[in-house]
Amino acid sequence: MTFAELAARDSVFVDANTLIYHCTLDPIVGAACTALLDRVGRGEIVAFTSTHILLEVAHRLMALEAASKLGKPTGSIVKFLKTHLDKVPHLSSFRQAIDDLCLGPMQVLAVAPTMVPTTVALSQQIGLLTNDAAVVAVMQACGLTKIASNDPDFDRAPGLTRYAPA
């Protein structure tokens, strides 16, 4: 299934990669991700994400911005920043991107403390990494069954349908 196959008034959870591709104008799938978020902005689709996904997006965008501004490889930029914390205050694009996402119509859900045992159980049962299992736990708790993600790992989650950018 693709983003284009989401029907008007569908409710969908938006994963981190979709937001990152949109924010970075990814040359392969960025346009599809932006088109999806445009549909959300027009009220055609009801979108949800979670606080932990927004933090994941912020972390990745910060790393990409730092790598670009500092001329460092993305694979080692987090380690570099940990030893050069004076560089972090000079990064601002990642924050603006998160501010823009938070101001939009996407509803942001929280991972409640009571979801932690469910998350780790789902991680073990389905074979998902913790953050992905937390997405499934949040979606289940909110009755959501559709996810906008380029991550095929979600295909293993029973009861979920994944919509990919292309």
Beta carbons of 33 and 165 less than 8 angstroms apart = yes
Burial class (CB in 10 A: 0-12, 13-18, 19+), 79: exposed
Residues in the chain: 166
Tell me the pLDDT tens digit for each residue of 128-155. 999 999 999 999 999 999 999 999 999 9
pTM to 2 decimals? 0.94
Q: What is residue 118's predicted lDDT score, i.e. its pLDDT?
A: 96
The residue behind tokens 């559709």 is 146
Query: Residue 166 pLDDT more than 90?
Result: no
Alpha-helical (H) ranges within the chain are: 16-23, 30-41, 51-70, 77-83, 93-103, 115-122, 130-142
Tell me the pLDDT tens digit for each residue of 84-128. 999 999 999 999 999 999 989 999 999 999 999 999 999 999 999
In the predicted model, what is the mean pLDDT of residues 18-37? 97
Domains of the chain: 3-114+144-163 (3.40.50)
In the predicted model, what is the mean pLDDT of residues 21-37? 97
Please name which of 88, 103, 126 lies closest in space to residue 41, comparing C-alpha atoms. Answer: 103
